[in-house]
Structure formats: C-alpha cells, structure tokens
Chain A
Amino acid sequence: MTQLILFNVMNGLIIGAFYALMAIGLSLIMSLSDVINFAHGGFLAVGAYLAYSLAPYIGFWGGLLVAPVLTAILGLIVEKFLISRVYGRDPLYSLLLTFGLAFIFEDGTRYIWGAQSLPYQVPGWLMSPLSSSFFFLTGYRMLMIVLIVAVVAGLFVIMTRTRLGLRIRAGTLDLETVSILGVNVRILRNLNFGIGIYLAGLAGVLAAGQLGLQPTIGDSLIMPSFIAIIIGGLGSLTGTLLGGLLIGVAQGITTVFFPSASEAVMYVMMALVLLVRPQGLLGEEGRF
C-alpha cells in the first residue's frame, strides 16, 4: 500500500507538472491582458497536430522545436487581429470571443486532420520504462519533466531578469502606470500572449506523445489548468505551478482510495480554497 501511494504521488507530480505547463501559459495571459483564454486547449491541439504533420519532414525533435513556435505565431496573429480588439471592454467580450475560437479550433482541426485519432509516434527508445519496478517512469515522461522544468525555469529567468519580464510583471500590477511610463502596452501584451500560446503549443506536442491525437485533446486538459490558477492564486506564477502540482498529486492519491472521485477531487480543492483563501494560495489580496 505504501508503495502504491508513493508511486501515485510521484506519478501525480508528473501529471501535475503537465497541468502547470498549460496553467502558466493561461495565467500569463490572464494576468496581463485580463483575458480568460478559453481557446487555450484549441491552441494546444493545433500545436499537437502541427507537430504530427511536420514529423515526416523534420522528425520528432524538429516537430518538438518548431510546432510550438508556429503555434505561438498563430497566437500572435490571433491576439493582434482579434483579442486585442476587446481589451478594456467588459471581460464577457473576451470570454465569448475565446470561447468561440475554441470551437473554431476544435472543428477546424477536425476538418483538416479528421475526427479519427491519429497515432503520433515518438522515438522508440523513449517509449520504454526506465526500470521494471518504476514502470511508470518512461523515457518520454522523463523528457517531459526535463522540458517542463527547463521551460518554467527559463520563464522565471525572463520574468525576473529581463526588461520584458519586468514590464510584464509591472503591467500585471498596474498597466496604466506602465503605459504612462512609455512602455508600448500593445506590443507587451502581444508578446506576452505569444509566450503563453508557446507554452500551450509545447504542451500539445508533449501530450500527443502519450495520448491519442484527437481534436478534443485540449478539452480535458484545460479544466485542471483553470483550477490550478484558482488554487495557486492569480498573478503568481509560482502559485500556478504549485496549484498544478497539487492537483496532480491529489488526483493520484484519490485514485488509490476512491478512483471514481479522481476527477471531482480538484473541484473540491477549488471550493475549499475559495472558501478559506479566496485569493488563492499565493495570490495577491484584493486582486482575485
């Protein structure tokens, strides 16, 4: 039993890291642009399908490198021509816009690549477990963890050490002042959106390696990410990371004792956090 719990905690951390990857992208956009990006799962699917289509030409690694960048470019375009037009309006506008986009992405991918699940192939040597007792630690999942850690660390460096990051963080706190100080908020938001969507695209490619590639691939992954943000606290990337990991571990442990509640447990956690600490574990008071 101890082993089962230990395994599920470790496994939960892996799943949680993945949730966090998506959630951090969402959280970036939400914090700076006040847009709840319902189309995040759609961008994820686009990233995954692009990698699938590119793989025959540039291989798995090429796809892993290029597909998230292409997804980010799509994100920049969507932000420039659609999302940016609803800034400053009631949040309902951006909500409906991204909600509609989510449908367009899902049906668009279904139209282009078909409803049938596609087998996305990852290199054979990544596909096997590292040891026979820790069979759930496959090469691929280790790769996922390494990449997620690298990307999140890189993001933290950008956020704390670069001018762009400084401006994004400042904008999150007080966009008006940042604008008055001469920062081009339009470009700032555009780049920030691009970074968020890059993370969605990367999550998509990684997900496709271990799930079937289907138009709804983003759907079931996006809800935990929203909840990770609420639990962790809006405006805090560390909080979002923590929220994602907590959800993953909680799901893992619940599966041991009460498997049919493994989906519900994150909603229970969200309810508890909202009751006890509405701003989230590491969120700023008053913001949320």
Chain B
Amino acid sequence: MTNNGSSSKFDRRTLIKAGAVIGAAQLVSPFVRTARAADVVKIGVDNPLTGTYAALGKNEALGMAMAVDEINAKGGILGKKVELAIEDSTSGDAGTAVQKARKLIDRDQVNFIIGNINSALAQAIANVANEKSVFHVVPGGHTDSVTGQNCHWNTFRVCNTTQTEASAVATSLIKNAGKKWYYLTPDYAFGHSLQAGLEAAAAKLGGVKVGGDLTPLGTTDFSSYLIKAQAANPDVIIFLQAGDDAVNALKQAVQFGLDKKFHLAGAQQELEVLLGLPPEARIGTWVFEWYWNQPNVPGVKEFVAEVRKRSGGHVPTARTWFGYASIHTCALAAAQANSLDAVKMARAMQGFKLPPEIALMPDGAYYRAGQNQLIPDLYVGHAQSTGKDDPEDLFVVETVVKGADVSPTLEETMCKQDWPA
C-alpha cells in the first residue's frame, strides 16, 4: 500500500525538530587514520574539509601530505615514521573543532596538532592545545590575537597576522586607488581584526572610512550590501571576505558594474578565489602570502613541479605552502629539541629561521621569539584576468614586502607567553 494514514503525517513540531538534526551533521566524522603502534609520531590535523573553506583546507592537506612524505623519506621524526590523523573541523563551528581537537589529543594521542583556517576555530584549538600542553601550529587563521593578546607558548603560526597583511597592502592601495574606503567585512574574528588593521594602517596614510558592513560568514547574496556600498560613493570598496564568500562577493560586484565606478580591492587574496572567478572579475589590488611564480627563488620550481604531480597539474597556492610549512615546522621542532617534549620543542623554535628549501621566499622566514609568529615575505600586486604563460598565473607581484618591515613590534602585539615552570 502506498498511501499513508493520518497518523504518520508530520506536524510543525517534526519540522522544527528536523532543524535540530542539522546540528548532528557537525558530529559526523569523515575518516581518521590512526596509528597502530607507538613507534610512530602522530600529527593531528583539525582543519576544514567541508563548508566554505573546504577548497582551502584541501590544498593545505595536500601540502601537509607532501611534507610528511618528504620527512618519512628522510627517516621520519627522531627516527620514527610520521602519520597524520585527519579530522574535519567544519568551516565555522568552534564547538566541533574543539571536540575534534580533544579527540585527537586524548584518544589518538597525537604529538602535534595543526589547525585551523578559520581564525575563531584556530583560537579555540589553541586554547585546548595549551590546556593539554601540545605543540600546536596554526596553518592559516589570521586573526591577530592568536599570536597577540591570546598567544600561547605552544602555538606557532605560519600565516601572517591580519595587521601585517593590512600594513603590507595599505600604502599600495592609497597610492593606486584613493583614500575613501568602504569595507565589506566578514562578521567573525578574522574579518574584524583585518578591518581594524586596515583602518589603522590607512589612518596613518590619511585614508578614511566612509562606511562599511559586516556580512555573515557563508553569505551568498551580496547584492544588498553592494547597493549600500555604492550609495556611500567611496574611492575603494574593500572586500575582506575569504574563500567562497570572496568569490560570491566579487562576482556580483563585477556583474553590477561596480568595478567600472570604484576601485575594488582588499587585503588578503588567494589563488583559490581568483580561480573561482570568471576572468572579468579577476581584478583589484591585493596581498598574497606566498606565490608560486617566483622564478628567481631557489627551490620554488621543484616545489611547484612536485605539487603539480600530486594535484593533477594544478600549481600550489599559499594554502599548499602553509600546510607544507606547518608539518615541516613540527619536524624541525622535534629535530632542534631532539625530543618530542612540547616545552623543549617550543623553546627550540624561538627565533628559528626556516631552511630556504622550506621557506621558499626571497628573504626567508623565521619564527619571532616571544610570539611564535612566522615573519615571512609578503607579495603585493594585482590580479590579472588570464595568465600569460600558465592559466593559473592570475596574480602579478609588484612588490615583495619584508614581513619584519610591516609587522607590529612584539610590544604592540601584546603577546605575553606563560611558559610552564
């Protein structure tokens, strides 16, 4: 019988309860590779594989896997084989990220933990890692506080702070685009601190904020925000969205013809976003944190070639490099300290300069002592609609800025590390 009696008709309550089921989604775990014996070193990865940051997360994962293979080929960490334990942190749920971090540390007993792309999740994982005294690397969450006000002795960060990114790009923006800025900012830790950084950097150069809106993470339709931005008549509309949100925002802005009326720009830009845009929307002044087309930097060509082999021909993005550098940071820390003890490793990394074959940038990169923040080069330039020699060459580097020149001082970061006795 195909019909159903009235008893099985759902009611309003069922529909509302159904909404609660969505919450259960957060608890679904994709896959975990756990080690069987104690003769391995385990690195726990608590990073997004689903949601808005899935593409970024997968590129970081590729870089991580590549680094693990390199390390294992050279005998592993302290002679032990390295294994990854991978969890999907989701793109925006701090509760899930914390739960996964606890699982990795308590149940899988990882020696290191890596995460997260989302700033808020990165901070949440940092707090768990600190409570458990586990060596922690943030591959790609930029909010200042992670290596600033809420810094920890055991949390190291590969990507830049928002303040550094903002300072790197501000001069170029004011010069090329004008002084009246309107901000479209994602409404969470990363966006807030990036906007604050830009406002501070712009103010020093005479820039003014003529308006701005906070957009919820995961916004798809930006049209009503763009209508407001247009009404404010700025010189520059600053887009601070990341990942898929950035694709949606820029694509709509260009469809509305706003690129012909205003300068569209921002601070951090990523190859993933430019690749997701139609050619006419690949515009604007931005800062990249790493770029693959650096013909004069030794080792980059080989790195690019190896990534292409693993990615079906695609070039590495800054995310691939973040993942790669994060894993190498763990291995280097253990090697420097000749131990897997978190305190010894963290001490050994104070002021540590990454070897050039891992840093892969003209002036190298080092972890600033007392803050554990990597100070690398930054690449300021503009997007281009199509690559000349390579379809994925979508950014033109105009200036390489030394991180040390644009980073706030250690005092300004307000980082105070509380080392265990």
Q: Which residues of A contact B (CB under 8 A)?
A: 3-4, 7-8, 11-12, 14-15, 34, 36, 38, 84, 87-92, 95-96, 99, 103, 106-107, 110, 114-121, 127-129, 132, 135-136, 138, 140, 175-176, 179, 185-186, 189, 207, 210-217, 219-221, 226, 230, 251-252, 255-256, 259-260, 262-263, 274, 278, 288
**Chain B residue nearest to A184 in the complex (CB):** B2
Cα–Cα, bound, A4→B275 (Å):
33
- The contact of A12 among B9, B12, B54, B224, by CB within 8 Å, is B224
Q: B187 contacts the other chain (Cβ, under 8 Å)?
A: yes
Q: Contact at A95–B18, with CB atoms within 8 Å?
A: yes
Q: Contact at A99–B15, with CB atoms within 8 Å?
A: no
0/1 interface trace, chain B 255-267, chain A, CB 8 Å (1 if under)? 1111000000000
Q: Contact at A88–B8, with CB atoms within 8 Å?
A: yes
Given contacts A207-B220, A260-B213, 12 further A-B contacts (CB under 8 A): A4-B227, A8-B227, A12-B224, A88-B1, A92-B14, A103-B28, A117-B247, A118-B276, A129-B257, A214-B247, A220-B218, A221-B220
Q: B226 to chain A: which residues have CB within 8 Å?
A: 136
Q: A115 to chain B: which residues have CB within 8 Å?
A: 54-55, 57-58
| A116-B9 contact in complex given A135-B257, A175-B4, C-beta closer than 8 Å | no
0/1 interface trace, chain B 262-290, chain A, CB 8 Å (1 if under)? 00000000001101111110000000000
Q: Contact at A255–B8, with CB atoms within 8 Å?
A: no
| A262-B216 contact in complex given A36-B18, A135-B257, C-beta closer than 8 Å | yes
**Chain A residue nearest to B12 in the complex (CB):** A288
Q: Contact at A88–B3, with CB atoms within 8 Å?
A: yes
| A117-B227 contact in complex given A95-B18, A99-B21, A128-B257, C-beta closer than 8 Å | no
| A138-B256 contact in complex given A34-B9, A110-B54, A214-B247, C-beta closer than 8 Å | yes
B261: shortest Cβ distance to chain A, in Å?
8
Q: A88 to chain B: which residues have CB within 8 Å?
A: 1-5, 8
Q: B418 contacts the other chain (Cβ, under 8 Å)?
A: no
Q: Contact at A259–B225, with CB atoms within 8 Å?
A: yes
A-B contact list, 30 entries, CB within 8 Å: A11-B223, A15-B224, A36-B15, A38-B18, A38-B21, A87-B2, A88-B4, A89-B8, A95-B14, A95-B21, A110-B50, A115-B54, A117-B247, A117-B276, A127-B255, A127-B280, A176-B3, A176-B5, A185-B2, A210-B255, A211-B252, A212-B276, A214-B54, A214-B55, A220-B218, A256-B228, A259-B213, A259-B225, A262-B224, A274-B12
Q: A12 to chain B: which residues have CB within 8 Å?
A: 224
Q: Contact at B248–A211, with CB atoms within 8 Å?
A: yes
3 tightest A-B contacts by CB?
Answer: A117-B276, A212-B247, A91-B10
Q: Contact at A215–B54, with CB atoms within 8 Å?
A: yes
- The contact of B255 among A119, A138, A221, by CB within 8 Å, is A138
Cα–Cα, bound, A138→B10 (Å):
41
- The contact of A179 among B3, B227, B258, by CB within 8 Å, is B3
Q: Which of A95, A116, A186, A252 has the most chain B CB within a 10 Å cutoff?
A: A116
Q: Which of B2, B19, B252 has the most chain A CB within a 10 Å cutoff?
A: B2
Q: Contact at A259–B55, with CB atoms within 8 Å?
A: no
Q: Contact at A260–B216, with CB atoms within 8 Å?
A: yes
| A117-B272 contact in complex given A88-B1, A214-B244, A216-B52, C-beta closer than 8 Å | yes
B75: shortest Cβ distance to chain A, in Å?
33
Q: Which residues of B contact A (CB under 8 A)?
A: 1-5, 8-12, 14-15, 18-19, 21, 25, 28, 50-52, 54-55, 57-58, 187, 213-216, 218-221, 223-228, 230-231, 244, 247-248, 251-252, 254-258, 272-273, 275-280
Q: B28 to chain A: which residues have CB within 8 Å?
A: 103
| A212-B248 contact in complex given A36-B10, A219-B218, A262-B224, C-beta closer than 8 Å | yes
